[in-house]
């Protein structure tokens, strides 16, 4: 690993456990719908319904936020830390405000409703039309520290 690829922060925005319970309950409810068609149909519906709901839950929780010594990697985006301003940690009502009525449509928003805290960081690159990044995170202080720990 080169010095510039040293990982300073890594977080996976996983879904709550209750979502997995709901995915299983979805499969069970689908099995009950197909039960009048026989036990085989109910088992197939259970398997298919649980798998589809599980794939949805897994996809919602697969986004990662990583910070190396010189780059912020969020989902498919790679942003050099030199192009970012000072990060701002957001809690409670302020985080909700930036997700809703204060939001700019040009911003990169990695939002997870089930995560109440976030970090907002301005994009300083004059050639980039993106005004800021809004990143839902469970540890906003750690992410902000990693973003300011530039070489």
The tokens for 139 are 């540890």
Q: What is the DSSP letter of 87?
A: E
Same domain as 130, residue 78: yes
Judge whether 52 and 76 are in contact, CB under 8 Å: no
Residue 33 lies in a domain: yes
Strands (E), the chain: 7-12, 64-68, 71-74, 77-80, 84-90, 108-110, 118-123, 132-136
Q: Which domain holds residue 54?
A: 13-60
Same domain as 87, residue 25: no
pLDDT band per the 50, 70, 90 thresholds, residue 1? very low
| Count of structural domains, the chain | 2
pLDDT of residue 91: 93
> Where is the domain boundary, 26, 60, 94?
60
pLDDT of residue 150: 63
Question: What percentage of residues in the chain have a pLDDT greater than 90?
Answer: 62
pLDDT of residue 69: 86
Average pLDDT, the chain: 90
Same domain as 94, residue 32: no
Same domain as 26, residue 80: no
């Amino acid at each position: 690993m080169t010095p510039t690829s040293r990982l300073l922060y890594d977080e996976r925005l996983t879904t709550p456990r209750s979502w997995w319970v709901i995915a299983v309950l979805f499969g069970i409810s689908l099995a009950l719908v197909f039960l009048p068609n026989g036990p085989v149909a109910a088992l197939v519906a259970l398997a298919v319904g649980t798998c589809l709901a599980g794939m949805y839950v897994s996809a919602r929780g697969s986004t990662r936020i990583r910070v190396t010594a010189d780059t912020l990697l969020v989902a498919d985006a790679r942003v050099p830390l030199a192009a970012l301003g000072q990060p701002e940690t957001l809690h409670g009502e302020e985080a909700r405000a930036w997700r809703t009525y204060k939001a700019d449509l040009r911003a990169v928003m990695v939002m997870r409703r089930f995560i109440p805290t976030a970090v907002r960081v301005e994009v300083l690159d004059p050639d980039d039309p993106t005004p800021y990044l809004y990143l839902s995170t469970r540890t906003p202080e750690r992410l902000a520290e990693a973003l300011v720990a530039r070489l």
